[in-house]
Structure formats: structure tokens, C-alpha cells
């Protein structure tokens, strides 16, 4: 298995271009199941989660071509399968979006429970609540979810989510787009990729309003037509590079971003001592002085993203004073990576949902294990900032969501390489 070898202590300088949003791509690609005709989707990130999803769709009968880099042409007209490959589904978390897409397209679905990063208990009860409100009968086991029309058939409905679940919001939107009547999602998630999915569906002929607010309305249509759509830049990839410069030091222009999406992240990095300059579609970040302590609590968008929790923790570990980091989205997300950071010299105390991080003078290179996608990215940042050599194992988690991470960091002056582990 491959590992990352990092010789730390080198500041990052130059420019980096951010790829298309992973979280948007893994929702938009299943949405193509709803479209009658060919979709040309641009700015698609070249990451393992996308490749797995395309394999799933192709196995179901989709006609897929990649005529150029970061472009996918997909025609799902010939798809008739409602039970995607179990083994592939279990390789990624976002495969559960196939439930909503298949229910919307065929009125039924039989989908294995997904895999992906195991950093917390993430039940799909809100997804099920949505499907029931749309008139589906649900058979949920420990291995799969089966959906069929209920006695009154499938129809629009009103759903008030118990929490602002991104996954449930996406699945309900997918299921409702082609159903008769109006569907209203209350307490909907507001993340940028929710808006991106709605924009994609509307481009193809859907009637969705309110995306980006806490109330999303979907007026069902008879069919969606093919078309062209470009995915938004990846907020979390951009945030990861911003956090890396904050932790390591340097001066980097982060290109192909939407600065408005980044404010929840950049405001905290500025509090810690980074200098941030926003342009139309790029952000310059600089850090030369000492880092300062801060307090962060993860929240649904527009709050600080849970997917940036681990990366900012590395910055806190190198900041003066004592910082506090509270996780309010996934209560067990601290597990794993904090132990790895402590092996590098970080001082972290966890009590319930809060980590108290006392800054240290430096981190020291070590052999560490990526337990999930974002935790793995944080360990890379820690390795870049540390004295000595760091070996990051289980990098398949990282490559689920970061395109050409090694190449992009090397272009910024980092001493990092991907090597085959011979042990």
C-alpha cells in the first residue's frame, strides 16, 4: 500500500488551483439518473469517490464518456436497474444518494447501506423520514434499504427535518423532482453543494426554489432534459490549503474559489494570525508571524464546517495559548486523529464534544494513520509543519476527496512524495 512521506518545515509559496467540489459531484452524478438525455458535467474532480460512483452508474447501464479532463458526459436513458452493485456501494458514503435518485426515476430502489469514512455514527433516519413523507414504503435492514410505492403511490409532501441533514436534504430533493405535487423541506441544509445540486436540476428543467435557505420547495415536473453544467469549486479542499499555509507559514494564492463560501473558514484563520485578501475568484493567504489561540465550534453552513475541524485543530496545536474546539455536528469525530497528533507532540485534551488544545513550540515527525478523509488531510498538514519526517499511512482515505494532493503541495514547495510501502 502507498504512503505519504513528508519532510516538514518548509513554508508554502506560489499558487494552487482548487478542483470541483467533491460533495457536489457525488450528489449531481446520481441526479443524472433523473435526466432523459445526455448531461455534460464540467469541473468534475478526479478523485476515487467520483470514479467509484461512475463505475456504479455504468454498471447500472449508464452511457459514460470522459472526452477531456474533468468533464463527464453521462446518459442514463438506458438505465433500468434499481439495485446497484452492493460491493461498490459499500465503498463510499455518498452512494446513499442513489436511493433518492432511483426512487424519483423508477418509483423503487434497493440499495445496500453505504461505506466510506467511519468517523461517527451517521444514521439515515432523516432520509427515511423524507421517503415516508413522499409516500414510499421503506424496508430497512442492517444491510440494505428497499423502497417501493405505498398504497397511495408516490407524491409530494411536507417534511420537517429534525436536524439540518445535508444527506437527507439531497435525497429528498432527488426523490421529489419528478413526483407529482409540491414537496417542502423544512429545516433544510444550506450548504453550497445543496445550492449547486438545485442549480443543476433546475438547469435540466426542475422547479426547485429556496435552496440555500432553511425551506426548499420542489414542484414536481414530468421530465428533465439533458444539458451542460459546471460544478462549483470545493470549499473544503480550498479550506485545507488555507489551513496548511496557516499552520506551515508562507504566501499562497488559492485560485478557483468562491470567497463568499470561504468566509466561515477565513474569519477563524485571520483570528489566528493569517492575513487574507479576497479577490473575485481567488484568495491570497499569508502567515509569517506567530499563531494565536482561538475558539471554534462546528456548525451547519454558514457556520464553521465540520469537515474543517481536524485541519484547524493542527493550527491550534501550533498556536500560542490554549484553544477550544467543539464539535456539534458529529459527536465522535475527534476519535483517531487527535491520538495521531499527540504522537507528534501535540497537547490535546478531549472532554465530551470539546477538545482543549494547548499550543506547543513544534510538532515532530512520526508515523501516523489516516482514519478518515479530513483527518488524513490534517495529518498531512501536521507533517508539513513538523520537524523531521512524517509517514502518513492509509492514504486511500485522503485520495477519496483530494485531487493530485501531492503534486499540488510539491508545486508550493512542500517536500512530500507518494511511495509504495514495502512493509
Point out the least confidently predicted range of 108-117, 133-142, 252-261.
108-117
pLDDT at res. 121: 47
Predicted confidence (pLDDT) at residue 333 exceeds the cutoff of 90: no
pLDDT tens digits for 165-186?
Answer: 999 999 999 999 999 999 999 9
- Bond into 97 cis (ω within 30): no
pLDDT band at 330 (very low <50, low <70, confident <90, very high): confident
pLDDT at res. 352: 87
Q: What is the mean pLDDT of residues 315-333?
A: 91
Prediction pTM value? 0.96
pLDDT band at 336 (very low <50, low <70, confident <90, very high): confident
Q: Which CATH architecture has domain 22-230?
A: Alpha-beta prism (3.65)
Predicted confidence (pLDDT) at residue 423 exceeds the cutoff of 90: no
pLDDT at res. 117: 53
Phi, psi of 100 (to 5 degrees): -65, -40
pLDDT tens digits for 129-142?
Answer: 999 999 999 999 98
Of 133, 128, 173, the C-alpha closest to 152 is 133
Q: What is the mean pLDDT of residues 344-354?
A: 94
Q: Read off the DSSP letter of residue 226.
A: E
Of 346, 368, 336, 382, the C-alpha closest to 240 is 382
Q: What is the mean pLDDT of residues 66-85?
A: 97
Regarding predicted confidence, which is higher, 351 or 316? 316
pLDDT at res. 332: 62
pLDDT tens digits for 364-413?
Answer: 999 999 999 999 999 999 999 999 999 999 999 999 999 999 999 999 99
Cα dihedral sign for 397, 402, 404, 406? Answer: negative
Using DSSP's 3-state secondary structure scheme, residue 23 falls into helix
Alpha-helix runs per DSSP H in 204-276:
235-248, 259-271
Predicted confidence (pLDDT) at residue 323 exceeds the cutoff of 80: yes
Encode burial over 400-411: b for 16+ CB neighbours within 10 A, e otherwise: bbbbbbbebbee
383 contacts 127 by C-beta, under 8 angstroms: no
Average pLDDT, the chain: 95
pLDDT band at 93 (very low <50, low <70, confident <90, very high): confident
Rounded to whole angstroms, the Cα distance separating 54 from 68 reads: 15
Instruction: Give every CB contact of residue 150 below 8 A, 6+ residues apart in sequence.
Output: 135, 136, 137
Instruction: Give every CB contact of residue 61 below 8 A, 6+ residues apart in sequence.
Output: 76, 78, 79, 80, 81
The C-alpha cell that represents 372 in the structure block: 478518515
Rounded to whole angstroms, the Cα distance separating 369 from 367 reads: 7
Using DSSP's 3-state secondary structure scheme, residue 310 falls into helix
CATH 3.65.10.10 spans which residues of the chain?
Answer: 2-19+233-420, 22-230
Q: How is 3-72 classified by DSSP, letter by letter?
A: EEEEE----EEEEEE--B-HHHHHHHHHHGGGEEEEEEEES---SHHHHHHHHHHHHTT-EEE--STTEE
Regarding predicted confidence, which is higher, 197 or 93? 197
pLDDT band at 283 (very low <50, low <70, confident <90, very high): very high
Query: Is 117 a known active-site residue?
Result: yes
pLDDT at res. 122: 55
Q: What is the mean pLDDT of residues 61-90?
A: 97
The C-alpha cell that represents 166 in the structure block: 445535508
Of 301, 391, 262, 412, the C-alpha closest to 3 is 391
- Burial of residue 385, with CB atoms counted within 10 A of its CB: 0-12 exposed, 13-18 middle, 19 or more buried: buried
Tell me the percentage of the chain whose pLDDT exceeds 70: 97
Phi, psi of 98 (to 5 degrees): -65, -25
Using DSSP's 3-state secondary structure scheme, residue 163 falls into coil
- With cell 438506458, the residue in question is 78
Of 268, 272, 241, 273, the C-alpha closest to 254 is 241
The C-alpha cell that represents 43 in the structure block: 469541473
Predicted confidence (pLDDT) at residue 119 exceeds the cutoff of 90: no
The C-alpha cell that represents 171 in the structure block: 435525497
Q: What is the mean pLDDT of residues 139-168?
A: 96
Of 40, 93, 97, the C-alpha closest to 65 is 40
Kindly calculate the radius of gyration of the chain based on its CA atoms and give it in whole angstroms: 21
Q: Read off the DSSP letter of residue 249.
A: -
Q: Which CATH architecture has domain 2-19+233-420?
A: Alpha-beta prism (3.65)
- From 117, 264, 313, 338, the catalytic residue: 117
pLDDT tens digits for 95-111?
Answer: 999 999 999 999 999 99
Q: What is the mean pLDDT of residues 341-353?
A: 95
Q: At what angle do helices 309-317 and 373-385 cross, to 10 degrees?
A: 20
Strands 275-278 and 295-297: unpaired
Q: What is the mean pLDDT of residues 120-136?
A: 87
Q: Read off the DSSP letter of residue 296.
A: E
Predicted confidence (pLDDT) at residue 60 exceeds the cutoff of 80: yes
pLDDT at res. 182: 98
- 196-202-208-212 Cα dihedral, nearest 10 degrees: 20
Distance from the Cα of residue 33 to its chain's centroid: 21
Amino acid at each position: 500500500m502507498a504512503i505519504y512521506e513528508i519532510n516538514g518545515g518548509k513554508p508554502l509559496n506560489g499558487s494552487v488551483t482548487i478542483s470541483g467540489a467533491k460533495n457536489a459531484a457525488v450528489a449531481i452524478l446520481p441526479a443524472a439518473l433523473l435526466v432523459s438525455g445526455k448531461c455534460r458535467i464540467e469541473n468534475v474532480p478526479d478523485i476515487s469517490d467520483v470514479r467509484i460512483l461512475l463505475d456504479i452508474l455504468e454498471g447500472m447501464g449508464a452511457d459514460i464518456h470522459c472526452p477531456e479532463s474533468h468533464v463527464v458526459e453521462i446518459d442514463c436513458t438506458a438505465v433500468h436497474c434499481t439495485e446497484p452493485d452492493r460491493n461498490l456501494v459499500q465503498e463510499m458514503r455518498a452512494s446513499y444518494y442513489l436511493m433518492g435518485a432511483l426512487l424519483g426515476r423508477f418509483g423503487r430502489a434497493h440499495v445496500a447501506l453505504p461505506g466510506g469514512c467511519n468517523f461517527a455514527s451517521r444514521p439515515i433516519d432523516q432520509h427515511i423520514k423524507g421517503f415516508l413523507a413522499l409516500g414510499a414504503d421503506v424496508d430497512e435492514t442492517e444491510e440494505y434499504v428497499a423502497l417501493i410505492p405505498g398504497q397511495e403511490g408516490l407524491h409530494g409532501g411536507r417534511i420537517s427535518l429534525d436536524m439540518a441533514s445535508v444527506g437527507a436534504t439531497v435525497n429528498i430533493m432527488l426523490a421529489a423532482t419528478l413526483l407529482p405535487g409540491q414537496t417542502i423541506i423544512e429545516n433544510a441544509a444550506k450548504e453550497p453543494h445543496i445550492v449547486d445540486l438545485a442549480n443543476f436540476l433546475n438547469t435540466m428543467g426542475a422547479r426547485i426554489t429556496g435552496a440555500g435557505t432553511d425551506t426548499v420547495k420542489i414542484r414536481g415536473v414530468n421530465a428533465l432534459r439533458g444539458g451542460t453544467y459546471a460544478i462549483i469549486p470545493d470549499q473544503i479542499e480550498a479550506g485545507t490549503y488555507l489551513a496548511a499555509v496557516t499552520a506551515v507559514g508562507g504566501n499562497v494564492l488559492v485560485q478557483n474559489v468562491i470567497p463568499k463560501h470561504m468566509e466561515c473558514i477565513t474569519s477563524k484563520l485571520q483570528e489566528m494570525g493569517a492575513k487574507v485578501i479576497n479577490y473575485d475568484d481567488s484568495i491570497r493567504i499569508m502567515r509569517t508571524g506567530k499563531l494565536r489561540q482561538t475558539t471554534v465550534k462546528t456548525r451547519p453552513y454558514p457556520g464553521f464546517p465540520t469537515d474543517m475541524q481536524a485541519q484547524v485543530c493542527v493550527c491550534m496545536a501550533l498556536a500560542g495559548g490554549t484553544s477550544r474546539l467543539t464539535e456539534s455536528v458529529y459527536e465522535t469525530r475527534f476519535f483517531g486523529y487527535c491520538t495521531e497528533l499527540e504522537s507528534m507532540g501535540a497537547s490535546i485534551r478531549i472532554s465530551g464534544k470539546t477538545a482543549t488544545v494547548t499550543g506547543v513550540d513544534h510538532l515532530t515527525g512520526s508515523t501516523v494513520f489516516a482514519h478518515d478523509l479530513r483527518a488524513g488531510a490534517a495529518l498531512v498538514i501536521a507533517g508539513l509543519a513538523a520537524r523531521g519526517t512524517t509517514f502518513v499511512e492509509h492514504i486511500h482515505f485522503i485520495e477519496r476527496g483530494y485531487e493530485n494532493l501531492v503534486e499540488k503541495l510539491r508545486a508550493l514547495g512542500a517536500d512530500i512524495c507518494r511511495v509504495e510501502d514495502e512493509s
